[in-house]
Amino acid sequence: MVWIYTEEIVNNNIIKILHTGRVAHGKGQIDAIKACDILVKNNINFELNLVGSIDKSYNNSFLKFYNSCKYKEKINIIGFKSNISPYLQEADIFLFPSYGEGFGNSFAEALTSNLICIAYANTSFFNFKNLGFYFLMVKNKDIKDLKNNLLFVSLNIDSEEIKTKNNHELALTLFSTSQEIKKYLEILV
């Protein structure tokens, strides 16, 4: 299904999209930028912030892609930041189409911040779903599905934000020190 919204959306508020993590092949930044094309085509005002250092071996190919992007003025390459809290606090959507992650700290931080998260269906993202977190998981490496889900979220941002409200409390419960101690004691017994 392709979502096309034909009326211009008048939005004084820019939809703030965030991706955090090392900029490297397969980490999702290029797919995130490509997905934003559907927002441009549907006149949705947005800003994509990419927070993370660029791998030296990836720098040339990434910047070549970025510089060829017709809407690069909406894409901010922030670079490495030791404190990403301000970016998490101002974002609406966490777009994280990584080709695979172990335990994704960036993704966990976004879930805990009650951002509307979108990820590819692969590796650890299934574990987050199984733990009960709400986020959108799209077909793995499927830009079209990624675009459609980004558009859906952008058009339904208020109702999607409501669905994320339990993520923070769930993270506090699951990732608390007392929970960690309890799990270690279960292993020892």
Q: Give dist(CA 77, CA 65) in Å, integer.
A: 13
Residue 87: in which H helix or E strand, if any? helix 85-90
For residue 180, give Cα distances in angstroms to 39, 63, 177.
41, 41, 5
DSSP per-residue letters across 43-74: T--EEEEEESPBPHHHHHHHHHHHHH-TTGGG
pLDDT of residue 126: 92
Average pLDDT on 146-161 reads: 97
Is residue 166 over pLDDT 90? yes
CATH topology of domain 15-188: Rossmann fold (3.40.50)
Q: Give dist(CA 22, CA 5) in Å, integer.
A: 33
Average pLDDT on 148-172 reads: 95
Tens digit of each residue's pLDDT (9 = 90 or more) over 10-53: 345 899 999 999 999 999 999 999 999 999 999 999 999 999 99
Q: For 51-60, 83-92, 175-184, which range has the lowest pLDDT when averaged over its residues?
A: 175-184
Q: What is the pTM of this model?
A: 0.87
The amino acid that residue 140 corresponds to is: N
Q: For 2-16, 31-45, 57-71, 166-180, which range has the lowest pLDDT when averaged over its residues?
A: 2-16
pLDDT of residue 109: 92
pLDDT of residue 180: 65
Q: Domain locations in the chain?
A: 15-188
Q: Give dist(CA 153, CA 160) in Å, integer.
A: 7
End-to-end CA distance of the chain: 51
